[in-house]
Chain A
Amino acid sequence: MSANGTIAPSSLSIKDLPWQVHWDRDRCTLCGRCTAVCPVHAIELDVFRQRLVETPLGLTREPSNVYTVHYGIRQKTDPAHACIGCAMCNLVCPNDCIMPYRSDEADKLRYHINRGGQPRRRGGRRNVPVGILDQIKFTRISMLTDPALDAGRHEFELRTLLGRVLPPEKNLELQRQQGWIPPVREIYPLMIGSMSFGALSPNMWEGLQMGVAYLNEELGMPVRMATGEGGCPPRLLRSRFLKYVILQIASGYFGWDEIIHALPEMKEDPCAVEIKYGQGAKPGDGGLLMWYKVNELIAAIRGVPPGVSLPSPATHQTKYSIEESVAKMIQSMYMAWGFRVPVYPKISGTSTALAVLNNLTRNPYAAALCIDGEDGGTGAAYNVSMDHMGYPIASNIRDCYLNLARLGMQNEIPLIAAGGVGKRGNLAANAAALIMLGASAVQISKYIMQAAAGCIGSESDRCNVCNVGLCPKGITSQDPRLYRRLDPEKVAERVVDVFLSFDTELKKIMAPLGRSTSLPIGMSDALGINDKAAAERLQISFVV
């Protein structure tokens, strides 16, 4: 603090901040890269005054003071410029002389991050790094009674169904009568979840699309990607690649003018339509694209003026009840594509999920149910929603699966699980656990940003500035100066890497369980957990 400064309630010291930037004067070349790259301007070039006491040898004269100045890096303590720990400064430093370190105690910044009466908003996930999925083990290993399979050499069919699967009797009866059978897509069980064109930068979106197209067309893996609420670039809507895309409609209906206009010119049907009623990261809250990110391109695709925040309503304003939402909306969306495209709702993990599911079971059109658990990520939400609202995905998906099994409708309405899958890097293990708990497919979003584009956000509140378009990696920014850091080709390459390695790991899990012919949906006898309460709740084995 300067000598003539005052202390106000929100005056913080560096010690009060969550991240302290350590700078090594000896190695610094003052090149300025760190201050230039810092997305929140947490550091600046500054002048430091230094006093040296000179005492001549033998005290031939009186000791004296020598005052000098030097230049260096100073960390700001203004809450608006608090370091977010992204470590871009370290990434660009030629001499590794700068690095943010996490404070050794809880920061005081959290009490001051609501200036102007605005609660904190951020991107990322719930700030809880651990999860139940990582505790689940696969215990039913084929030993002598039946041979474990060879994950490297065996023939596997890792496919799942997206669409309303009729009971066998009904399906055969309709085939005999040549009646309408709901469309069903056979897809890869790992999907890229909804991240909108707007939440993501054009380069990131393009990279994902290219990766997905490569996986489908070159590697024969029917991977699908959901758009989130924000529409689609017009050329994509009119291209053959649309069949790999799941279009999302949410309460803001952003981008749907463009989609409807493209309908007559579509070469291919989309894979499916996802109706978003909720999102795991901010249950019961609508989508949010803050004004920082609404540039000309995004505004044009969404059909809105540029430079305004786009908060979607918390619920679809045209619907007042579940039967309206489920029946009318799903049926209208079916009608738009001549009943050839599956339509399914996506909801937040919630204790009311069973009520939604039961309603879907009585609707002959509902093609699936996607449940997004509390650990899901988002591009922008209030911190309080992210950290304190929601329902864990594991027990939610399990309850829904067992409910369907009781009704004799297991897998007839495929359950898609999302929300924190692979948040500690164990993607295949988490996905397999969810599948064996009853999910037909699993969605990943934050994971693919981390793995395919180098997102540095973490569940210990690192970075998480997706909402203001300052993403230092250019993943969630609409500023060309930032997103040009991201090469779409390289993103596509990483997407392919992720799916190929996931495929190998999933086989490495399934093969020892003796499974290869079909995805082991609901194979709960293969699961165990070292937590009695969790085992009881999930109806799996308790193993110690």
Chain B
Amino acid sequence: MCRLFAMTSEEPQTPMMVIQALDVMREGHDGSGVGLFFTDLGGPFEQLNGAPILSGIFSNEGLKRLDRFMMDVGFMTKYKISIKIPKKPPAGVPRRDIYLVRAYEYPEDWEGLTDKEIQHRLLATRLQLRKMGEEKQDMIVFSFWPDVIMIKEIGDPITVAEYLQLDRSDLQARVMLAQGRQNTNYAINLYACHPFFIQGVATMTNGENTAFVPIREFLMSRGFPGYIGYQSDSEVFTHILHYSLYRLGLGIEWYKHVITPLQDEDLEDHPNGSFLKELKHCCRKMIIDGPNCIMGCLPDKTLFVVQDRKKLRPAVVGGKPGLYVISSEMCGLDAAVPDRDKSLDFQPMHLDTAIIRPDRQEVKICRQTEPLPPLH
């Protein structure tokens, strides 16, 4: 079972904070991968005014193809960080040419486009690059989005972080997600490494998704180009969240009602019961069956954690105003925020969604049996 760690902090932090927390929980991952997601960036990336950042791994040949492609589209490099890697990778970490984190100026002809159109084109560009990379095995693209950096690699988290020298001042973020992978059912493939990302939505999961195949069939038949991949059964959680946010217009409080709807007798007593019953019927194909704990970040930098209906996975939320953490295990939380009021730690159960808004002032617990905010 993978180990997950998410944090949101008023002060930008370096990636080592989450890496160290993962290392404390090392019993739960097997070195088959580490995935990092950074947003609400600090340091030099804070000044980029919404320029999209491309994150991925490239061979030298792949980088040349990338540059040609981006030039043709009209993207100009605005800022990049160079990760100088030692010649010999540590045991268990494959040899790569380039770990790329590069921000681009938008093409001139994108000026005047609506936000929605820009978001659509960024997604299309990422998918195009991914497709090109899969053809020649020379590019792996994780994200292409403003204010988002992703780094993934096979290996033990702390070893990988030291190898990539992630303890650096130009790589800082206020919101981070990190996963130490315990490989279970699928091949060790970086596209199967969490967190998963699509249009500002990122989630990571532990456990196994036993309802994976029917959910995948449903998502792939939505006619949305981004719903592809699925090298991991957990990628569907990101896409369901994206679908419910973007396509259904449902906020995070509704997410759990989509993936783990209440049983009928509870719906009878619910203030929004009739609406939720309809939602349960029409979103039936997206009901998950766990065992999973899902942590994630929304486009507005809100962090959240939910459990499946069976609550067979651990998770704890805690911290103090200005710094909150969601961790698979208590020891991860202890390592990250030792000086918190522990009596306020919260372990979400089968009806809870724990939400930390971008103001980072409190953990809001949203129980499924409570009334829901009005829909817009």
Residues of A at the B interface (CB closer than 8 Å) are 140, 142, 145-147, 149, 154-155, 157, 159, 161, 165-172, 175-176, 181, 184, 186, 405-411, 513-518, 520-525
Tell me which residues across on chain B come within 8 A of A409, comparing CB atoms. 221
Residue of B nearest to A161 (CB): B281
- A residues less than 8 Å from B137 (CB atoms): none
Q: Check: B211 CB closer than 8 A to any chain A CB.
A: yes
- Number of A-B contacts defined by CB within 8 Å: 111
Q: Say yes or no: A517 contacts B289, CB within 8 Å.
A: yes
Tell me how far the C-beta of A397 lies from the nearest C-beta in chain B, rounded to whole angstroms: 15
CB distance B282 to A165 under 8 Å? yes
Tell me the complex Cα distance, A450–B288, Å.
37
Assuming A145-B184, A165-B281, A169-B248, is B217 touching A410 (CB within 8 A)? Answer: yes
Assess the B184–A516 pair: CB atoms within 8 A. Answer: no
Note all chain B residues with C-beta closer than 8 A to A140: 210
Given contacts A161-B281, A168-B247, A172-B279, contact A518 B287 (CB under 8 A): yes
Chain B, residue nearest A154 (CB)? B310
With most chain A CB atoms within 10 A of its CB, the pick from B248, B283, B289 is B289
- In the bound complex, do residue A147 and residue B279 qualify as a contact, i.e. CB atoms below 8 Å apart? no
A154 to B308 alpha-carbon distance, docked (Å)? 14
Within the complex, the shortest CB–CB distance from A187 to chain B, in Å, comes to: 12
B217 to chain A: closest residue by CB: A405
Whether B263 and A405, one on each chain, are in contact in the complex, defined by CB atoms closer than 8 angstroms, is no
Contacts of A181 in B (CB 8 A): 278
In the complex, are the beta carbons of B213 and A525 less than 8 A apart? yes
Docked complex Cα distance between A176 and B288 (Å):
26
Asked if B290 lies at the interface with its beta carbon under 8 angstroms from chain A, I say yes
Let me know if A411 and B184 touch, CB within 8 A.
no
B214 on the A face (CB < 8 A): yes
Pairs A–B under 8 Å by Cβ, sample size 25 = A147-B312, A157-B263, A161-B281, A166-B282, A168-B243, A169-B247, A169-B248, A171-B278, A171-B281, A171-B282, A172-B250, A172-B279, A172-B375, A408-B218, A408-B221, A408-B223, A409-B221, A514-B210, A517-B288, A517-B310, A518-B287, A520-B289, A522-B214, A522-B217, A525-B212
Q: Is the CB of A146 within 8 A of B210?
A: yes
Which B residues are CB-close (under 8 A) to A157? 263
- Which of B208, B212, B310 has the most CB atoms of chain A within a 10 A radius of its CB? B310
- The distance in angstroms between the C-alpha atoms of A411 and B288, with both chains bound, is 15
Establish whether residues A523 and B247, one from each chain, have CB atoms under 8 Å apart when the complex forms.
Answer: no
Q: In the complex, what residues of A have CB within 8 A of residue B247's CB?
A: 168-169
Given A145-B185, A517-B290, A523-B211, A172 contacting B248 (CB threshold 8 A): yes
Query: Across the interface, do B375 and A410 meet the contact criterion of CB distance under 8 Å?
Result: no
Minimum C-beta distance from B280 to chain A (A): 9
Contact A410 B221 (CB under 8 A): yes
- B28 contacts which chain A residues (CB < 8 A)? none
In the bound complex, residues from chain B placing their C-beta under 8 Å from that of A147 are 291, 312
B289–A514 CB distance below 8 A:
yes
Task: Report Cα–Cα, A184/B211, bound state, in Å.
Answer: 23
CA distance A523 to B209 in the complex (A): 12
What does the 1/0 interface line of B249-286 toward A look like (CB < 8 Å)?
A: 11000000000100110000000000100110111110
Q: Which among A159, A166, A176, A524 is the interface contact of B213 at CB below 8 angstroms?
A: A524
Query: Is B264 a contact of A406 with CB atoms below 8 Å?
Result: no
Known A165-B284, A172-B248, A176-B375; judge A520-B260 contact (CB<8 A). no
B-chain residues with CB within 8 Å of residue A154 when the two chains form the complex:
310
Q: How far is the CA of A518 from the CA of B263 in the complex (A)?
A: 10
Look across to chain A and name the residue whose beta carbon is closest to the beta carbon of B280.
Answer: A186
- Cα–Cα, bound, A409→B285 (Å): 10
Closest B residue by C-beta to A184: B281
Q: Which residues of A contact B249 (CB under 8 A)?
A: 172
Given contacts A157-B263, A410-B217, A520-B211, contact A515 B278 (CB under 8 A): no
Q: How many whole Å from B93's CB to the nearest CB in chain A?
A: 24
- Chain B residues closer than 8 Å to A186, beta-carbon distance: 264, 281
B289 touching A407, Cβ below 8 Å: no
C-alpha gap A145/B208 in the complex (Å): 7
Does B12 belong to the interface (CB within 8 Å)?
A: no
Residues in A with CB closer than 8 Å to B310 are: 149, 154, 516-517
Report the separation of the CA atoms of residues A175 and B281 in the bound assembly, to the nearest whole angstrom. 13
A293 to chain B, nearest CB (A): 40
Give bound CA distance, A312 to B171, whole Å: 78
Any chain A CB within 8 A of the CB of B309? yes
Inter-chain contacts of A411 with B (CB < 8 A) = 284-285
Known interface pairs A154-B310, A405-B221, A517-B287; 4 further A-B residue pairs with C-beta atoms within 8 A, sorted by A's residue number: A142-B210, A186-B281, A518-B284, A520-B214
Residues of A within 8 A of B275 (CB): 175
Residue in A172, A181, A515 with the greatest tally of chain B CB atoms within 10 Å: A172
Closest to B258 in A: A168
B250, B284, B288, B309: which has the most chain A beta carbons within 10 Å? B284
> Is B314 in the interface zone, CB < 8 Å from A?
no
Q: How far is the CB of A11 from chain B (nearest CB, A)?
A: 61
